[in-house]
Amino acid sequence: MLLSMKDINKSFSGVSVLRDASLEVAPGEVMALIGQNGAGKSTMIKILTGAYRKDSGSIQFDGTQVDFSAPAGAQAAGIATVYQELNLAPHRTVAENIFLSREPRRWGLLDRRRMRAEASRVLARFKLELDVDRPLEDFSAATRQMVAIARGVTQNARLVIMDEPTSSLDEREVGVLFDTIRTLKADGVSTLFVSHRLSELYAVCDRVTIMRDGRTIGQHPMSEISRVELVRSMLGRELTAFATRAKDEARGSDLPVFLHAEDLHAGTRVRGVSLQVRRGEIAGLAGLLGAGRTETARLIFGADPRDGGRVAVEGRETSYREPVDAIRDGIGLVSEDRKVEGIVPELSVRENMTLAILPKLRVGGVVDRTRERAIVDRFIKALGVKCSSPEQPIRELSGGNQQKVLLARWLCTDPNLLIVDEPTRGIDVGAKAEILKLLRELADDGLSVLMISSELEELMAAADHVTVLSDGQSVAVLAADELSEERLMTEMAHQNEIGSEGARAA
Amino acid sequence: MAHILPSAPSSLLGRFMPRSNLALARLGVVLALLALILFGALRYDGFVGLFNILSFLKFNSMFALVALGMAFVIMTGGIDLSVGAAAALASVAAAICSTYGSAAGILGGLSAGLAVGLINGVVITGLRIQPFIATLATMLAANGSALLLAGNQSVSIATDNNFMAIGLNNFLGLPIPVWIVVFAYFGGWLTLERLPVGRRILAIGDGEATAKLMGLHVERTLLGVYLFSGLMAGTAGVILASSSFAGQPTEGIGWELIAIASVVVGGTLLTGGVGSVGATLAGALLLGLVFTVINFENGKGWISLSSSWQPVIRGLFLLAVVVLQAKLAGTRRNSP
């Protein structure tokens, strides 16, 4: 074994988060590590990479007993980590990012020519041709991730840890990433792959380690475990909520149309999008990353100016110039990036929830705390937000619960249409089903929902119909009975040859 | 939403445009500097005379040094409010020590500056206190120490050795403080652009947590940066003592703001991660030049501005330059 972690224990202020957890990775192996949020995956990784210290247990790497006290030590030993969100140093160039902390030198000075040449050479191995002198922030998420991997490779890494590397990549980019993993594998480099997307695990991983409640509860070859078994052992219970709670009946087209958008145009990203959402239905919006989904949502919401097209709400033509105008008409937008555009991490659950309705709660300029409290209590209960109290800082909540608070923030404004952009990103399987179920219940009560999602299963499980975007244009509207993974992918790949590699098809 | 494809090769136009907003800001400060020099040269006699140029450079050498230290601190995402007080303390220490010889005077001044920098660095990295708070505290402490040490008055330097030569003499036609600035800035440029540590300083400013995960020695680097800022303040203090023949416990008030202004005008982001040594020098000279122009204007007799007006005009000028930079950066950002 290249890596063998045994009987790892760790607790934070008395709360035990790892209990005799173990993890093994063989040389050249791609090992999947899965588990719900809070199962202990990231703690395990952080202990391995020296970001945390273990309380007890043993770690053997490459034949020697190790216990890294800082990330620098793990890197030197040959463990490279590609983090989900922390994407290197954005203002620094590609070449600098690859070589930071191990810059090639000549007479003590930076050897910039060699740094550039080496950077280009290692990127070429992954079929990437970049101007390595440009700041990293100029490139897409996928490219930045490749740069992070290239950084690992130049460190002569024996093990590359990828923490949810695909969460911000589109299908084609995932394909490139998988090729990279295979290249690494061919060179005998092992990969530890953390992901919430099951199909990806089957596409690229050799074995899987499953964690639950701080324990390692199984280790299987991928070929010997079915999806259902995998999910079952991860959740520790029968999975019923997902995919089954679909549409009871095909929602009648007799419902009145709430939102009608026609031939929207804006810049190069949106070039002819039409869609409609009826009262009380969940309309899906599908497409590859960059197809114009978020941009379309922002146009409807009045957050960006549109160059052309019409938006009608309940038959009335609108011309929102700012989100405030859309909000006045009862439209809400829960954005894709919870951390940046959504939550205020230091504020409490209560404060986060009532942010949008504070003006309405004012009595003579002062917030009416009693009414505020009543509203907060009602939504915490209604949405099942798990928090110790409304005063708990929201950053301490899990991703799924944070998302619920954000939904509540809009719901307490009593909206007519809620646009949700990737509502379940980075949320574990159980909470995902709960969020979807919640949206369904809200729709049943008459709320219109426009749901943007990259996850096909999610669209199939929740949407009454799905509008597919490709390259900034709406190319198809699929009714509930036409929805299949196959069909969605075909439409998304519409006139989009590069998208048809089907890398994610398991 | 993030873009998908690696960006297309830059357009023809793009090739002739500065690559980053920082480059545009640099362009802005250099343009403003040139415009002001041109204005002065056309309007005032003796403005571009050798005497005026040398005394201008000598006087501004202290600000330039403090600004250099500040630039490095700000590039890491921090701030050092203690530089002015540290320079005042250093001038007092230098004056007192100068009685034991010129070397002792220099060493005393530099040590005082380094001591303040050391305290800053240790408090910020070891005790994890925010730089703003930590250096605010050391600013007050250094200010008080300088007054205590000097007994509430300025302290004469020894005149029986050549400590005063630092502020008086020229070397190869340039005042010694100007040489010090040249060396310090060359060293600063070399460190930032050509040494690995420079790249790491910027990476830390880009994101401290990320830098740590990338295996950089964040604490060590930050400590070094605050020490350097202290050293620069100490050097400025030595120059101050030597050229005014006295340790000045009440000088240095507001220097930190001039330094921050110079750094910002030079296009360094206050949030860290981006910065330039050359543009910091241009920024420091620009702010100094505004002051000189006002003096010349007063000398012409057309207007008579009291010294209280100088900061007002400096402030307005600073605002104008920053707005200009934002405009330049804005047009670029909006173009496809």
**Does residue A258 sit in helix, strand or coil?**
strand
For residue B195, give the nearest of A71, A110, A172 by CB distance. Answer: A110
Q: Which of A8-22, A290-304, A477-491, B130-144 has the highest mean predicted lDDT (pLDDT)?
A: B130-144
Sequence-separated (6 or more) residues with CB below 8 Å from residue A152: A80, A81, A82, A160
Nearest-CA neighbor of B193 among B182, B185, B183, B204? B185
- Domain assignment present for A291: yes
Asked if A81's CB is within 8 angstroms of B4's CB, the reply is no
For A372-494, list the strands marked E by DSSP. Answer: 417-421, 448-452, 465-470, 473-479
Is A428 part of the contact surface with chain B (CB cutoff 8 Å)? Answer: no
In A135-197, which ranges are continuous DSSP H helix? 141-154, 171-186
**Paired residues of A2 in beta bridges:** none
For residue A71, give the nearest of B199, B202, B213 by CB distance. Answer: B213
**pLDDT on residue A79:** 92
What is the enclosing helix (H) or strand (E) of A193?
Answer: strand A190-194
Nearest-CA neighbor of A23 among A255, A155, A235, A218? A218
**pLDDT on residue B17:** 46
* Class of CATH domain B20-325: mainly alpha
- Domain assignment present for A162: yes
Pairwise pLDDT comparison (B261 vs A243), residue with the higher score: B261
**pLDDT on residue A499:** 37
**Does residue B69 sit in helix, strand or coil?**
helix
Buried b (16+ CB within 10 A) or exposed e, A102-141: ebbeeeeebbbeebbebbbebbeebebebbbebbbebbbb
On the question of pLDDT at A368 being above 80, the answer is yes
Pairwise pLDDT comparison (B25 vs A61), residue with the higher score: A61
On the question of pLDDT at A353 being above 60, the answer is yes
A234 contacts A38 by C-beta, under 8 angstroms:
no
Distance CA A292, CA A261 (A): 14
- The tokens for B248 are 């000045």
**pLDDT on residue B80:** 97
Phi-psi group of A209: left, alpha or beta (phi > 0 → left; psi -120 to 50 → alpha; rest → beta): beta
Report chain B residues whose CB lies below 8 A from the CB of A96.
199, 203
**Does residue B25 sit in helix, strand or coil?**
helix
Query: Domain check: are A326 and A359 in the same one?
Result: no
Strand order in the sheet with A257-266: A270-278, A257-266, A308-313, A316-318
**pLDDT on residue B303:** 67
Pairwise pLDDT comparison (A227 vs B331), residue with the higher score: A227
Q: Which CATH number covers residue A279?
A: 3.40.50.300
A119-158 residues touching B, CB cutoff 8 A: 128-131, 134-135, 138-143, 151
Q: Which DSSP state fits B8?
A: P
Give the CA dihedral B30, B32, B33, B35, nearest 10 degrees. 120
For residue A100, give the nearest of B3, B190, B199 by CB distance. Answer: B199
Instruction: Give the pairing of strands A79-82 and A308-313.
Output: unpaired
Distance CA A332, CA A319 (A): 16
Write down the mean pLDDT value for chain A.
83
**pLDDT on residue A335:** 83
Distance CA B179, CA B192 (A): 20
Phi, psi of A310 (to 5 degrees): -125, 145
Buried b (16+ CB within 10 A) or exposed e, A306-343: beebebebeeeebebeebeebbebbbbbbbbebeeebb
Nearest-CA neighbor of A474 among A210, A295, A341? A295
pLDDT-based confidence at A493, cuts 50/70/90?
low
Query: Domain check: are A184 and A140 in the same one?
Result: yes
Closest residue on chain B to A137 (Cα): B2
Q: At what angle do helices B255-265 and B83-97 cross, to 10 degrees?
A: 120
Query: Domain check: are A267 and A122 in the same one?
Result: no
Closest residue on chain A to B205 (Cα): A89
**pLDDT on residue B9:** 40
Query: Domain check: are A195 and A86 in the same one?
Result: yes
pLDDT-based confidence at A56, cuts 50/70/90?
very high
Query: Domain check: are A144 and A157 in the same one?
Result: yes
Residue keyed to tokens 């209960």: A381
- The tokens for A238 are 């029968």
- Domain assignment present for A504: no
Phi-psi group of A389: left, alpha or beta (phi > 0 → left; psi -120 to 50 → alpha; rest → beta): beta
What tens digit of pLDDT does each residue of B46-69 get? 888 888 899 999 999 999 999 999
**pLDDT on residue B282:** 93
Q: What is the mean pLDDT of the segment spanning A333-342? A: 76
Report chain A residues whose CB lies below 8 A from the CB of B194.
109-110
Q: Structurally, how many domains does chain A consist of?
A: 3
Asked if A290's CB is within 8 angstroms of B4's CB, the reply is yes
What is the enclosing helix (H) or strand (E) of B220?
Answer: helix B218-244
Distance CA A211, CA A205 (A): 16
On the question of pLDDT at A337 being above 50, the answer is yes
Query: Domain check: are A350 and A408 in the same one?
Result: yes
pLDDT-based confidence at A274, cuts 50/70/90?
very high
Query: Domain check: are A355 and A458 in the same one?
Result: no
Query: Domain check: are A285 and A171 in the same one?
Result: no
Query: Domain check: are A306 and A421 in the same one?
Result: yes
Pairwise pLDDT comparison (A169 vs B43), residue with the higher score: B43
Distance CA A51, CA B330 (A): 39
Nearest-CA neighbor of A191 among A172, A174, A215, A208? A208
Full DSSP string of B104-155: HHHHHHHHHHHHHHHHHHHHHHHS---HHHHHHHHHHHHHHHHHHHHTTS-E
- Domain assignment present for A275: yes
B54 contacts B224 by C-beta, under 8 angstroms:
no
A188 contacts A159 by C-beta, under 8 angstroms:
no
**pLDDT on residue B15:** 42
**pLDDT on residue B248:** 93
- Domain assignment present for A245: no
Q: What is the mean pLDDT of the segment spanning A362-372? A: 83
- Domain assignment present for A242: no
Distance CA A158, CA A180 (A): 14
For residue A86, give the nearest of B2, B207, B274 by CB distance. Answer: B207
Sequence-separated (6 or more) residues with CB below 8 Å from residue A355: A344, A347, A409
For residue B3, give the nearest of A81, A89, A140 by CB distance. Answer: A140
Query: Domain check: are A124 and A26 in the same one?
Result: yes
Distance CA A128, CA A82 (A): 17
A3 contacts A164 by C-beta, under 8 angstroms:
no
Q: What is the mean pLDDT of the segment spanning A461-469? A: 90
Nearest-CA neighbor of A101 among B138, B273, B221? B221
Closest residue on chain B to A87 (Cα): B210
Query: Domain check: are A273 and A128 in the same one?
Result: no
- Domain assignment present for A502: no
Range of the domain at A493: 256-330+417-432+445-497
- Domain assignment present for A160: yes
What tens digit of pLDDT does each residue of A120-155 get? 998 888 778 889 999 888 887 778 888 888 888 888
Instruction: Give the pairing of strands A362-363 and A308-313.
Output: unpaired
A373 alpha carbon, distance to own chain's centre: 31
Query: Domain check: are A296 and A427 in the same one?
Result: yes
**pLDDT on residue A416:** 92
Residues of chain B with pLDDT under 50: 1-18, 331-336
Looking at A235, A270, A287, which one is the last position of a domain? A235
